[in-house]
């Protein structure tokens, strides 16, 4: 199997983790742990995992001073701020709003990649993005609107948007590093740097967490957020960026609402209606079109 198709599989798994993690987050926040405390646990634990499994592997190429500064910006935006904004937003707003606003991420990435990375906006890519957006919107709006929360929902929406913008910038900046350095070298350092911001911000709330109140399901949810939706998801996503490019990787983010809906059917016993099936078809068609011109090239690994 070529690296191109391995990257596609990796990105699909990454978006599966991202799409389903909202269920785990909603289960434990804010009742058991505050969003900012969960962010600290997520960043510190993931940094520990990366350095435990891959810390002894030497970098084949040392970071230049310029790239090290870019790495620091990626850490602040893509790890500390993105995690804090996204989790806080998920805890305040409804799953419907969170899923809808996450769809702003691939749009922003595509625009930023076209401006700064000079990635071409082909007609297939534009059509694919429009189909994916249409499918995601149909999937979200077909859900029961009566479950929308009140109160701080507007602030939650704002946090989700800010998290999406931070992650979009992270993906675009990461492309310049992914072509020079190994995936593991980058992730080890961005998460280690992320501790410098995330741990002090969440230290006060961490001291208030009553860990003895976590039952088995709560520990499973916490582990899923850390291992699945952070450690593995970032590992897979960065590999995808290095192989198929930033904008093409972002196209698969339209599958997140699809995975969220499927998990809701299985875990929350929601019905699988016709609009959801149609939406899933639109999303997968959009992903196919966004990658059609790319897969037909002689060198599929080129951006």
pLDDT in tens, the chain (303 residues): 888 889 999 999 999 998 888 888 888 988 999 999 999 999 999 999 999 988 877 777 888 999 999 999 999 999 999 989 989 988 887 665 676 677 667 777 777 777 777 777 788 878 877 887 787 777 666 654 444 444 466 787 788 889 988 988 888 888 788 778 888 888 999 999 999 999 999 999 999 999 999 999 999 999 999 999 999 998 998 888 888 887 788 778 778 877 877 787 777 666 667 776 787 788 778 777 766 654 444 333 332
Closest CA relative to residue 256, chosen from 105, 149, 142, 141: 105
Neighbours of 70 (CB within 10 A): 15
Tell me whether residue 158 is in a domain. yes
Tell me whether residue 122 is in a domain. yes
User: Residue 127 in contact with residue 190, Cβ under 8 Å?
Assistant: no
Structure tokens at 160: 């989700």
Tell me whether residue 168 is in a domain. yes
The secondary element (H helix, E strand) that includes residue 296 is none
Tell me whether residue 91 is in a domain. yes
pLDDT at 232: 95
Tell me whether residue 155 is in a domain. yes
Phi/psi region, residue 245 (left: phi>0; alpha: psi -120 to 50; beta: rest), is: left
pTM of the model: 0.78
Closest CA relative to residue 209, chosen from 84, 30, 76: 30
Tell me whether residue 300 is in a domain. no
Phi/psi region, residue 250 (left: phi>0; alpha: psi -120 to 50; beta: rest), is: alpha
pLDDT at 71: 93
- Number of domains composing the chain: 1
Interatomic CA distance for residues 258 and 244, integer angstroms: 22
pLDDT at 104: 67
Our CA angle for 278, 13, 211, nearest 5°, is 110
Tell me whether residue 302 is in a domain. no
Our CA angle for 134, 137, 138, nearest 5°, is 85
Interatomic CA distance for residues 236 and 9, integer angstroms: 9
Q: What is the residue range of 172's domain?
A: 3-295
Tell me whether residue 120 is in a domain. yes
């Amino acid at each position: 199997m070529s690296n191109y198709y391995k990257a596609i599989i990796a990105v699909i798994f990454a978006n599966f983790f991202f799409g389903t993690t909202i269920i785990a987050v909603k289960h434990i926040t804010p009742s058991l742990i505050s969003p900012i405390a969960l962010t600290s646990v997520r960043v510190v634990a993931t940094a520990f995992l990366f350095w435990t499994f891959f810390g002894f592997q030497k970098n084949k190429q040392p970071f230049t001073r310029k790239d090290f500064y870019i790495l620091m910006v990626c850490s602040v935006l893509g790890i500390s701020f993105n995690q804090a904004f996204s989790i806080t937003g998920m805890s305040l707003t409804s799953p419907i709003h969170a899923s809808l606003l996450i769809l702003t991420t691939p749009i922003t990435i595509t625009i930023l990649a076209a401006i700064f990375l000079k990635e071409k906006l082909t007609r297939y890519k534009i059509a694919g993005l429009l189909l994916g957006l249409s499918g995601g919107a149909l999937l979200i709006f077909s859900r029961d609107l009566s479950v929308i929360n009140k109160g701080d929902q507007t602030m939650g929406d704002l946090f989700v948007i800010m998290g999406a913008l931070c992650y979009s910038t992270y993906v675009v900046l990461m492309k310049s590093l992914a072509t020079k350095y190994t995936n593991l070298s980058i992730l080890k350092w961005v998460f280690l740097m992320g501790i410098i911001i995330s741990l002090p911000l969440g230290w006060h709330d961490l001291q208030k967490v009553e860990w003895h109140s976590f039952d088995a399901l709560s520990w499973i949810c916490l582990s899923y957020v850390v291992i699945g939706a952070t450690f593995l998801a970032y590992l897979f996503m960065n590999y995808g960026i290095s192989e198929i490019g930033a904008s093409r990787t972002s196209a698969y983010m339209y599958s997140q609402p699809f995975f969220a809906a499927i998990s809701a059917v299985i875990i929350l016993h929601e019905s699988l209606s016709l609009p959801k099936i149609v939406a899933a078809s639109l999303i997968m068609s959009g992903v196919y079109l966004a990658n059609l011109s790319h897969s037909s090239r002689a060198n599929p690994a080129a951006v």
